[in-house]
Chain A
Amino acid sequence: DGGITQSPKYLFRKEGQNVTLSCEQNLNHDAMYWYRQDPGQGLRLIYYSQIVNDFQKGDIAEGYSVSREKKESFPLTVTSAQKNPTAFYLCASSIGTLNNQPQHFGDGTRLSIL
């Protein structure tokens, strides 16, 4: 079955530590996205990528970094510069452009501070 796999499901970060969240898709989608969801809130866009080796900042990119070396993979690094990283992180993908197609989501990674 095609889909998006996020790992790990739960992640704990120590102060001053960088952590990387994995996102893999086998849907052959060109576009991939990272969102942050805080309790009772909607999704806020962190980064997105429309093609390999290209990515753009979203609304809340500060303290995060991404790479897109392969079409299937779009890892997100939460750096120590992100002072409030506790949240639910969702990865998504879509066939084409940012808004003309439905987005398919993974089941998220919940990040907490130790």
Chain B
Amino acid sequence: SQQGEEDPQALSIQEGENATMNCSYKTSINNLQWYRQNSGRGLVHLILIRSNEREKHSGRLRVTLDTSKKSSSLLITASRAADTASYFCATAVNALNFGKGTSLLVTP
């Protein structure tokens, strides 16, 4: 059962701009994870944020979690063409439930 839903479905920006993707979910979670998938490849884990955390950073990535609104956001600052990929949120209850992803295109 897919619990996380990413928004927007697709996002196109230019290099140097920031990209923000959102994830909404329906039930209480233990943690929320963001993954990246390049075309035709497996997923790569980016960040795990626990339910008692509000914000987490990793390099150019910033993730926020608002459990009262059941939502999370992933911000990629100063985007590069190499950031072009699909980004998935996964909510952790008993198992990981993945959303359908946001497809990000970063043009030079």
Interface residue tally for chain A (C-beta within 8 Å): 26
- Residue ranges of A at the interface with B (Cβ–Cβ < 8 Å): 4, 6, 35, 40-45, 48, 58-59, 90, 92, 98-108, 110
DSSP class of B's interface residues: helix, strand, loop or mixed?
loop
Given known A42-B88, A42-B100, A102-B48, contact A58–B42 (CB-CB < 8 A) = no
Residues of A within 8 A of B95 (CB): 45, 48, 58, 98-99
Residues of A within 8 A of B101 (CB): 42
- The answer to whether A105 touches B93 (Cβ under 8 A) is no
Measured in the bound complex, the distance between the Cα atoms of B37 and A43 in whole Å is: 11
Given known A43-B88, A99-B96, contact A90–B31 (CB-CB < 8 A) = no
Interface residue tally for chain B (C-beta within 8 Å): 23
What 0/1 pattern do residues 30 to 54 of B give for CB contact below 8 A with A? 1101000000111111001000000
Measured in the bound complex, the distance between the Cα atoms of B43 and A35 in whole Å is: 11
**Candidate in B42, B43, B94 with the most chain A CB atoms within 10 angstroms:** B42
Measured in the bound complex, the distance between the Cα atoms of B37 and A41 in whole Å is: 12
User: Residue of B at shortest CB range from A98?
Assistant: B95
The 8 Å CB contact of A98, one of B1, B45, B96, B99, is B96
Residues of A within 8 A of B94 (CB): 98-99
Closest 3 CB pairs of A and B: A99-B92, A105-B42, A102-B45
